[in-house]
């Protein structure tokens, strides 16, 4: 009996991935689409609208700020939506909404349209980014959830070095065309009724194993009252604030020291390093203490920023600093859904 149980525990991760790899693939391309248009594309949209409409940068960036704020609020309701409509319909809806909203945003003829489309973009982004992807994968993966999530979220980095450069050429049509291509992939890869929903077991981890039992909150109010919850939220909020601040200001910081070509190379190195950083963590992320892994990632990001700030006139140091920061970028996004209250 014990031998059978041991064999079952050994085979479980393999069986999980055999059953769930189409979902990982669908989530990978969803992430590529969502980050390519919803995150990396924002700098392109700002530049295009400023040049073609003559609107002030503060007006345009105000719309992108609204997009991020609205998205943050909507993320809190993703788990309710996925329970009602299922992951397949939610991801497909998110892709369609984000694709249409991207076209509308870039074709806005009046400021009010810009802000209206930014709200719709926020809805599409909430249905296709970290929370949506992590929740979707939780219905197929338990023991190798970190591995699956890390692979899927590499699509975020892929969106940075595939979609973002093309946006400057075909901003509007690219969003809609990619959305049309992605919908059948999600339809085929993500079952309408995940196995754990079909068996009324909830996400895979709720089936549970003795070694995987971790505390959970019944509702948002309970979470907000818990110091354990804030022990996750506050560190990651600070780390993500630093990360987004760096990415948004990276070009402005690097241009005076590296020139336009050098800044472009540094951005490419950052994106490739983010992809490599996720791949490096993927095989071991489910076997290590993820709080410790998060601490290492925070220190790593700070070290990269420190290198650039200490030697801003040294081109080699700037490139190395961008690579160091890049190695942490992807993991700071991937780790929050994996870290449980302790």
Residue 182's nearest CA partner among 40, 31, 75, 67 is 31
Q: Poorest-confidence range of 2-16, 55-69, 222-236?
A: 2-16
Euclidean distance between CA atoms 336 and 235, whole angstroms: 10
Q: Is the pLDDT assigned to residue 127 strictly greater than 80?
A: yes
pLDDT tens by residue, 151-183:
888 888 787 777 766 665 555 444 444 444 555
Higher pLDDT pick, 165 / 93:
93
Residue 251 in tokens:
């070009």
Q: Poorest-confidence range of 15-29, 51-65, 111-125, 165-179?
A: 165-179
Contact between residue 30 and residue 95 where contact means Cβ atoms under 8 Å apart:
yes
pTM above 0.85, yes or no: no
Higher pLDDT pick, 67 / 1:
67
Give the C-alpha distances (Å, rounded to integers) separating 17 from 34, 127, 307: 24, 23, 39
pLDDT of the residue at 165: 62
- Work out the pLDDT band at 321, boundaries 50, 70, 90: very high
Average pLDDT over residues 265-283: 83
Average pLDDT over residues 310-321: 91
Residue 63's nearest CA partner among 128, 113, 129 is 113
Categorise residue 88: left if φ over 0, alpha if ψ from -120 to 50, beta otherwise: alpha
Task: Provide the percentage of residues in the chain whose pLDDT is more than 70.
Answer: 76
pLDDT tens by residue, 180-230:
455 555 555 565 556 554 444 445 544 344 344 445 556 666 667 777 777
In the predicted model, what is the mean pLDDT of the chain?
A: 77
Q: Is the pLDDT assigned to residue 123 strictly greater than 60?
A: yes
Q: Is the pLDDT assigned to residue 102 strictly greater than 60?
A: yes
Q: Poorest-confidence range of 51-60, 91-100, 101-110, 191-200?
A: 191-200
Average pLDDT over residues 24-34: 89
pLDDT of the residue at 9: 47
Higher pLDDT pick, 288 / 164:
288
Average pLDDT over residues 100-108: 85
pLDDT of the residue at 185: 52
Q: Poorest-confidence range of 45-54, 133-142, 314-323?
A: 45-54
How many CA atoms within 13 Å lie on the side-chain side of 92?
16
Q: Is the pLDDT assigned to residue 93 strictly greater than 50?
A: yes
Euclidean distance between CA atoms 82 and 195, whole angstroms: 14
Euclidean distance between CA atoms 117 and 305, whole angstroms: 34
Spell out the SS3 assignment of the chain: CHHHHHHHHHHHHHHHHHHHHHHHHHHHHHHHHHHHHHHHCHHHHHHHHHHHHCCCHHHHHHHHHHHHHHHHHHHCCHHHHHHHHCHHHHHHHHHHHHHHHHHHHHCCCCHHHHHHHHHHHHHHHHCCCHHHHHHHHHCCCCCCHHHHHHHHHHHHHHHHHCHHHHHCCCHHHHHHHHHHHHHHHHHHHCCCCCHHHHCCCCCHHHHCCHHHCCCCCCCHHHHHCCHHHHHHHHHHHHHHHHHHHHHHHHHHHHHHHHHHHHHHHHHHHHHHHHHHHHHHHCCCCCCCCHHHHHHHHHHHHHHHHHHHHHCCCCHHHHHHHHHHHHHHHHHHHHCHHHCCCC
Residue 104's nearest CA partner among 92, 93, 119 is 119
Contact between residue 27 and residue 152 where contact means Cβ atoms under 8 Å apart:
yes
Average pLDDT over residues 32-57: 80
């Amino acid at each position: 009996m014990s031998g059978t149980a041991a064999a079952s525990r050994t085979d479980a991760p393999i069986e999980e991935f055999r059953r769930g790899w189409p979902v990982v693939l669908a989530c990978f391309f969803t992430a590529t689409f969502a980050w390519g248009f919803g995150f990396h594309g924002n700098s392109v949209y700002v530049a295009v609208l400023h040049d073609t409409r003559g609107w002030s940068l503060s007006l345009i960036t105000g719309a992108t700020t609204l997009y991020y704020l609205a998205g943050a609020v909507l993320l809190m309701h993703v788990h309710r939506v996925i329970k009602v409509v299922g992951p397949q319909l939610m991801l497909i809806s998110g892709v369609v909404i984000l694709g249409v909203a991207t076209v509308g945003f870039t074709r806005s003829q009046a400021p009010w349209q810009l802000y209206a489309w930014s709200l719709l973009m926020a809805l599409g982004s909430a249905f296709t980014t970290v929370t949506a992807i992590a929740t979707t994968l939780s219905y197929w993966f338990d023991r190798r959830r970190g591995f699956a999530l890390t692979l899927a979220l590499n699509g975020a980095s892929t969106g940075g070095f595939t979609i973002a450069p093309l946006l400057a050429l075909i901003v509007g049509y690219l969003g809609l065309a990619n959305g049309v291509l992605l919908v059948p992939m999600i339809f085929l890869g993500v079952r309408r009724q995940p196995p754990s929903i079909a068996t009324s077991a909830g996400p895979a981890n709720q089936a549970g194993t003795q070694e995987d039992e971790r505390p959970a909150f019944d509702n948002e109010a309970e979470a907000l009252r818990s110091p354990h919850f804030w022990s996750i939220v506050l560190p990651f909020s600070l780390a993500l604030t630093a990360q987004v601040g760096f990415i948004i200001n990276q070009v402005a910081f690097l241009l005076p020291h590296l020139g336009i070509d050098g800044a472009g190379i540094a951005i490419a190195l950052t994106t490739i390093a983010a992809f490599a950083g996720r791949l490096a963590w993927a095989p071991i992320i489910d076997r290590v203490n993820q709080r410790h892994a998060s601490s290492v990632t925070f220190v790593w990001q700070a070290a990269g920023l420190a290198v650039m700030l200490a030697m801003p006139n040294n081109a080699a140091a700037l490139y190395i600093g961008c690579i160091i920061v890049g190695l942490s970028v992807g993991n700071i996004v991937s780790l929050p859904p994996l870290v449980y209250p302790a």
